[in-house]
């Protein structure tokens, strides 16, 4: 059964002629039915909302599937927050966000919505994408990663039009909408080197983000926070900085990964972390998976220490290429 507050909001806004409030209540109702796997009802409600505009109302139409095709990549998230090595403040903030969405009904009973706009900044490989996936996993919603090759067009107004299709497609489903390399579409509008088209895209993007309901969690990640438009910072309710992988962080990550997978390195985590001192968390996961792969192919009789040493030598050479030539 639909939430009583949504039905009440729908009737009140419809009776009062508040089209924006009506649309938001209707989209939240559709999202709830989608979350319950009531696909037929959700589709019928979407069609009814789309037809409402044709009758003269000012409600924006929901995008058709073909309009949003190629604009995002959807995955079912598998990682958990407990799998990640995070600074204490980052972990606390992430857990707080998850709790807000798990207990959103309590918040809404007091007229408060859970936060749903997050900015992650940090160097490549610091775990921004992994954190976005873990948040989606903890809230039990799909992770939708924006595909810039499908979003950014070469003609005037094309990118803004595709942005409209993207946001219309996600408005009625609980999800995490992930923008990696967010500076690609949200650059500072005061930059004199940028074209008027880019500035219009940024304005359209920020407006769309503002209008999203709280069941769509926008997570934007960037390696270059200094390039972002200042208005982006104001709109993000949670702003987190992920540092480069530290020695202690790598040791913790290796221990957790070994416990989770059952793979024995045959060498101490400290030794591995010291020899891979220049790698990121993302690269460290690639290294650990390489070890696991070689152990599987080598059979159960293979010596873990020898396998790890062979992979370590390859990685050390890869991390420090010979520059004499």
Domain residue limits, the chain: 4-61, 67-241, 247-319
Which pLDDT belongs to residue 250? 95
Sequence-distant (6+) residues with CB within 8 A of 22 are 10, 13, 14, 59
The strand order across the sheet containing 175-179 reads 72-75, 143-146, 175-179, 216-222, 117-121, 238-241
CA distance to 17, 151, 218, 222, 233, per residue, from 118 (Å): 32, 21, 6, 11, 10
Task: Please state, as a whole number, how many other Cβ atoms lie within 10 Å of the Cβ of residue 261.
Answer: 12
CA 313 to centroid of chain Cα atoms:
34
Which pLDDT belongs to residue 317? 84
Report which DSSP code applies to 187.
B
Which pLDDT belongs to residue 183? 86
In contact, 187 and 205? CB cutoff 8 Å: no
- pTM assigned to the model: 0.76
Sign of the CA dihedral running 93, 99, 101, 103: negative
What is the token pair recorded at 252? 């913790």
* CATH number for domain 67-241, candidates 3.10.450.50, 3.30.420.10, 3.40.50.300, 3.30.360.10: 3.40.50.300
Q: Which residues of 67-85 are buried (b: 16+ CB within 10 A; e: fewer)?
A: bbeebbeeeebebebeebb
Which pLDDT belongs to residue 300? 72
Q: Which residues of the chain have pLDDT under 50?
A: 1, 54, 56-66, 319, 321, 323-325
Which pLDDT belongs to residue 32? 72
């Amino acid at each position: 059964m639909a939430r009583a507050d949504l039905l009440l909001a729908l009737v009140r806004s419809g009776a009062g002629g508040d089209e924006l409030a009506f649309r938001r209540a209707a989209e939240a109702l559709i999202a709830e039915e989608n979350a319950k796997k009531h696909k037929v009802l959700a589709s019928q409600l979407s069609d009814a909302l789309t037809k409402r505009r044709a009758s003269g109302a000012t409600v924006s139409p929901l995008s058709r599937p073909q309009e949003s095709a190629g604009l995002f990549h959807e995955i079912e998230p598998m990682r958990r927050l407990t799998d990640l090595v995070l600074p204490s403040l980052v972990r606390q903030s992430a857990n707080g966000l998850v709790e807000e969405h798990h207990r959103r009904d309590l918040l809404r009973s007091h007229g408060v919505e859970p936060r749903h706009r997050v900015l992650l900044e940090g160097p490549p490989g610091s775990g921004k994408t992994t954190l976005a996936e873990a948040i989606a996993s903890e809230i039990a919603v799909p992770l939708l990663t924006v595909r810039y090759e499908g979003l950014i067009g070469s003609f005037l107004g094309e990118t803004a039009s595709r942005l409209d299709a993207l946001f219309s497609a996600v408005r009625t489903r609980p999800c995490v909408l992930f923008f990696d390399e967010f500076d690609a579409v949200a650059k500072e509008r005061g930059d004199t080197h940028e074209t008027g088209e880019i500035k219009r895209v940024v304005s359209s993007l920020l407006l769309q983000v503002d209008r999203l309901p709280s069941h769509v969690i926008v997570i934007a990640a960037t390696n270059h926070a200094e390039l972002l438009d200042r208005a982006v910072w104001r709109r993000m309710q949670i702003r987190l900085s992920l540092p480069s992988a530290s020695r202690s962080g790598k040791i913790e990550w290796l221990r957790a990964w070994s416990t989770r997978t059952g793979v024995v390195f045959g060498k101490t985590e400290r030794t591995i972390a010291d020899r891979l001192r220049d790698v990121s968390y993302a690269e460290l996961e690639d290294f650990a998976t390489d070890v696991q792969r070689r152990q599987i192919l080598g059979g159960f009789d293979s010596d873990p220490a020898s396998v790890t040493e062979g992979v370590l030598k390859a990685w050390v050479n890869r991390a420090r290429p010979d520059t004499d030539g």
